[in-house]
Structure 1
């Protein structure tokens, strides 16, 4: 009898028979992901590996991928690291997905370089690997990337904050992500470039690594504020959870109204923070587009063998209720209607 499953699904199924069962320790499932062998009905199987299961951004990415998979009749198996930066958890997730016979893996890599061996092993098994949100280093380690141009998003935020400062000299605190994350580095560098600063500028009063977590960002900002006091007038944040932590630390010291807080994310709650005056601005991303395009690319590969290629910029938009000349932006009303769309 002829096997009508996609050709690479059959190859992965054969490989899976020879693999030792892999424990899922170090990664957590986002849905009931079975350990059964590949489906016999030709259904396309897609793996999704995000950085965490709790960050609202990755929750939205997962939900969007699930909706797109359901619409196309594909099966989605979603796994995640325990925290932003958990490379070991993502490696285990990839091995688990290869064993389960997926046709493609969509991944938001926590460590742009350390994940490369696991990606190559998946590719060697006939699995197409696509990055979402965060690039690998090098970029061509995966077939394609669907993501925000993170450096440009950071640059947009930096230009906006610089314009809002006017004649005031910048006094900046940086709530960063992690040096192993390409997205963290790109946003950091873009923001400084937009501000006309460098890492060794006297305007940089201090930096902290937050893993994009609100609690860690709040604690880090409290420590930085103990050192710099009231000098600060700008706080850059890798994302909105970090910005929320920074805001709480500034508010506790009575400084929130005197500091321009900027973030990159564009969630509905982040847009509301802009509307409430907590954030000067946020740069909106569109994870729904990333997920939809990623799922569509895997389905096409499963059906035709054609791989996607290159970097696809899924766009961004500056959200603020205090626009400045020369920078395109939308207000919080528009943001609320389009958040993470």
Structure 2
């Protein structure tokens, strides 16, 4: 879904001394996941182009709410008037965001929304339900008449991004699922095994190994992101199942696109974190200039990347996707 970028004007606009460079903070889920490294890179480029100071920080891993809270507090103490954040725990971070917004700080979510989404001033990110639908529809088309026996390697319980991708994938597969507004993962009978990886490769490999032990006849694997998909692929390869199981995921980074080209992943849904960061910095600059704030959701785009194209499902080739991996759409 794509909504126009809307702005509201507060009673008092943000002010600063003429000789002070505005300060923006960006807080990612981790500072090591390639997706968030690229997001920080986009923010750094946009900040440099606009002559603003950028502070960076993040959690130690997906789900590290305490680390994100500490990063926000450190950035506010250093003078940040805008915080761009990809929330690890969509609910637990809300009290901190509410407090800093009450103090006059603009807070924009990138990639993942808070729960509720309205806890931030705006949200720039992927339509994650749509991303799931794309890879689900592709897996369904590739599977043909075979009865689906699905493994889902998920994020953490109750996270909007994880639930939307999971449920969207099931929708694309034509299976019973939850609505896009639900933060609970659906589990129709065709899903023979589910497990949480926290987006981590090693944890995902363990989940996949356990699922293969519980049901060795699986034929479709959905993974929350490309590090998780890499872990699943390692387990499938060791079990000799990497050639006959469809493995689909979401991210669209350069390494993930290469994995599609090499046949490790059947497909991925490509996101654009550089675009998310650029829009966040642009909104911050508007706030500094006029006091206007963004509101609502802005879709930064998603595209299916497939190793083998199928009729009726629009996709990019790995070569096409490599030219735009994680860049501005």
TM-score exceeds 0.5: yes
Contact 2:38 2:273 in 1 (8 A): yes
Please point out which of 183, 191, 208 is paired with 2:195. Answer: 208
Q: How many pairs align?
A: 307
Shift of residue 7 of structure 1?
A: 5.5
Residue 41 (structure 2) pairs with residue 8 (structure 1): no
Q: Report the equivalent of 2:264.
A: 278
Contact 2:13 2:292 in 1 (8 A): no
Residue 30 (structure 2) pairs with residue 44 (structure 1): no
Please point out which of 103, 109, 113 is paired with 2:91. Answer: 113
Shift of residue 308 of structure 1?
A: 1.0
Distance in 2 of aligned mates of 1:9 and 1:195: 51
Identify, as 1 or 2, the structure richer in helix: 1
Distance in 2 of aligned mates of 1:334 and 1:41: 45
Residue 232 (structure 2) pairs with residue 228 (structure 1): no
Question: 1:1-341, aligned counterparts within 5 Å?
Answer: 8=14, 41-198=19-176, 199-229=186-216, 231-341=217-327
Shift of residue 321 of structure 1?
A: 2.7
253-262 or 98-107, which moves further after superposition? 98-107
Instruction: Give the SS at the match of 1:135.
Output: coil
Distance in 2 of aligned mates of 1:145 and 1:9: 24
Shift of residue 41 of structure 1?
A: 2.3
Q: Report the equivalent of 2:8.
A: none
Which whole-Å deviations, capped at 9, do the CAs of 1:226-246 have from their partners, x for residues lacking one?
1112x0100000000000000
Which whole-Å deviations, capped at 9, do the CAs of 1:243-280 have from their partners, x for residues lacking one?
00000000001000010000100000100000001110
Instruction: Give the SS at the match of 2:227.
Output: helix
Contact 2:124 2:280 in 1 (8 A): yes
> Which stretches in structure 2 are left out of the alignment for 5+ residues?
1-11, 177-185
Distance in 1 of aligned mates of 2:187 and 2:30: 32
Shift of residue 96 of structure 1?
A: 1.6
Contact 2:203 2:231 in 1 (8 A): yes
88-97 or 147-156, which moves further after superposition? 88-97
Distance in 2 of aligned mates of 1:87 and 1:200: 27
- The alignment's C-alpha RMSD in Å is 1.4
Inter-CA distance 92–9: structure 2 relative to 1 (3 Å threshold): farther
Contact 1:85 1:181 in 2 (8 A): no
Instruction: Give the SS at the match of 1:168.
Output: coil
Shift of residue 131 of structure 1?
A: 0.4
Instruction: Give the SS at the match of 1:78.
Output: strand
Shift of residue 302 of structure 1?
A: 1.0
Instruction: Give the SS at the match of 2:20.
Output: coil
Q: Report the equivalent of 1:30.
A: none
Shift of residue 42 of structure 1?
A: 2.4
94-103 or 307-316, which moves further after superposition? 94-103
Which whole-Å deviations, capped at 9, do the CAs of 1:294-315 have from their partners, x for residues lacking one?
0110111011101111100000
88-97 or 279-288, which moves further after superposition? 88-97
What TM-score results when the alignment is normalised by the length of structure 2? 0.91
Shift of residue 207 of structure 1?
A: 0.6
Distance in 2 of aligned mates of 1:293 and 1:326: 32
Greater relative contact order structure (CA < 8 Å, 6+ sep): 2
Inter-CA distance 148–270: structure 2 relative to 1 (3 Å threshold): same
Contact 2:14 2:290 in 1 (8 A): no
